Amino acid sequence: MTTTTEVPADLTTTDRTPAVSFDVDPAAYRHWKVDVEGDVAYVRLDIDETGGIVPGYELKMNSYDLGVDIELYDVTQRLRFEHPGVRAVVLTSAKDKNFCAGANIRMLAQSSHPWKVNFCKFTNETRNGIEDAGAHSGQTWIAALNGTAAGGGYEMALACEQILLVDDNSSAVSLPEVPLLGVLPGTGGLTRVIDKRRVRKDRADVFATRPEGSRGKQAVEWKLVDEVIPKRAWDSTVAERAATAAAGSNRPVGATGITLPPLQREEDADGIRYRHVSAVFDRDAGLVEITVHGPEGDVPDTVDRVHELGADFWPLAMTRELDDLILRLRANELELGTWIVRTKGDVEDALAFERVIEEHSGSDWLVNEIRHYFKRTLKRLDVTSRSLIALIEPGSCFAGALLELALACDRQYMLDGTLDDDGAEQGDEAQIMLSNSNFGAFPMSNGLTRLGSRFYGDDETIAKLRQETGRRISAVEAMDLGLVTDAPDDIDWSDEIRIMLEERASLSPDALTGMEANHRFVGPETMESRIFSRLTAWQNWIFVRPNASGPEGALRKYGTGRKAEFDRRRV
């Protein structure tokens, strides 16, 4: 289960963050009940009011906090990997007349700004993962609202493909954050209502400023839900809708899932070490050095062998570790503002495993899941508010899918030469390699490849790069092709990197966060990119404004019987 330590007395007045673990034991879920009935899974929210991830509030009315969503993320992952026979997922509540009241307001009121931001970011990623399961895994999520869904509760439903609402003359859907709390529906509500549900914008305006929300026929007419169902026919109709969704799925029949065992890691004040991923902290310099180790051992020669390896299959094992590391660093290491990303291993070995993924992802459910999991983990890296610097050195294996790690970074430095003194790396010069996967297998949230984002609008360069796939590219060539930021020689390498990192550390972390987020997402917007680049950005700003979080702000005054006092100036 999740663990916490070092809980400050008042999270609002400090930037310290309780240490968060993302380890979850399904047998010990505190907030969710999961029942698999043939090809349909029922996921029921049943909040333990005393189970907050930090002290100071009770999770009343099926409201949630980060701990609840950590469990939900685990549910989504296990349904995809451990239950390939599940074709439809019914998201509902174990509590009568109350689906979910959304994010716990007391939690938000007492939390520091970084805690709130990380909470919103993680919940957004989990909601996006639900949509990804429907789009790429054949698992259709259906929200069966057997009671009122308010705020984040309705946002949870909005992530589902279908929304069913019980018609009991009281249950409603609502987004009351603006009128009641002075903040936004921060986990995608505003965006999904108009982009996904196609609610007319004037009706969306009315809906988002009406605390009581909508129910019954109006909710259907306004496209806020797909169907309202009389209480007497509720259970049978929900079952019918789930059966219909399951029948239309391309999920395999009779497939056996794999087990996702607990991750093994060593953790201390100086870093975190897994089998395939490691992180070393330099707290004085404010940076962490992340190394992804390439595969070792034989490449599976059949897809059956991939299934036998299961969670030990290198692409899946590495991705699970990288995903966990990103989450832990984001939540627990706020002052490590620069991440140096390295790889170590053999280029050909990395590409050999990648070819297994490329060959079978269209025909085998497990291989397909692994590819999309790596895609989602790269997206998590894209929206991480840290300076990302890739160092490409002798012994690196930035090739194909692993090259995406470098392309996700804000800058890429590639050594032109070798390092052969003081016990440093020796041997061949650094090289990178493009593969087919760099041209569409792992799109960003804006729908573009990372090469497409790097060379936005330059189709001629993208076409040229396609011709370079499958061959080793040296530092000088990489510079000429525009694939790296700089290629210092072995004489200048150490000094150039040191100066660059010192310069980065001297800049405002706030300004860097805004700058990086603007540079990473070029070109067209999608619903997903809007949620992160526009909605979340505004929410982050609103969270630090006194109208929301100040002593007289709406988050502070909610439930006290006193009105918030707003600064009426528009800025």
Instruction: Compute the distance between CA of residue 219 and CA of residue 242 in angstroms, rounded to an integer.
Output: 21
Judge contact between 198 and 250, C-beta under 8 A. Answer: no
Of these residues, 125, 131, 177, 358, which one is catalytic? 177
Kind and range of the H or E run holding 64:
strand 63-64
Among candidate residues 155, 321, 369, 393, the one labeled active-site is 155
- Confirm whether 177 is a catalytic residue: yes
Q: How far apart are CA 124 and CA 130, in angstroms?
A: 10
Cα three-residue angle 71-193-139, rounded to 5 degrees: 45
Name residue 519's amino acid.
H
Q: Let me know: does 293 contact 315? Beta carbons within 8 Å.
A: no
Q: Are 473 and 512 in contact (CB under 8 A)?
A: no
Three-state secondary structure string covering 200-223: CHHHHHHHHCCCCCECHHHHHHCC
3-state secondary structure 14-52: CCCCCCCCCCCCHHHCCCEEEEEECCEEEEEECCCCCCC
CA distance between the termini of the chain: 43
Are the beta carbons of 145 and 95 closer than 8 angstroms? no
List Cβ neighbours of 259 (8 Å cut-off, separation of 6 or more).
82, 310, 311
Q: Is 333 designated active site? A: no
Kindly report the backbone phi and psi dihedral angles of residue 469, in degrees, each rounded to the nearest multiple of 5, phi listed first.
-65, 145
Give the active site residues.
155, 177
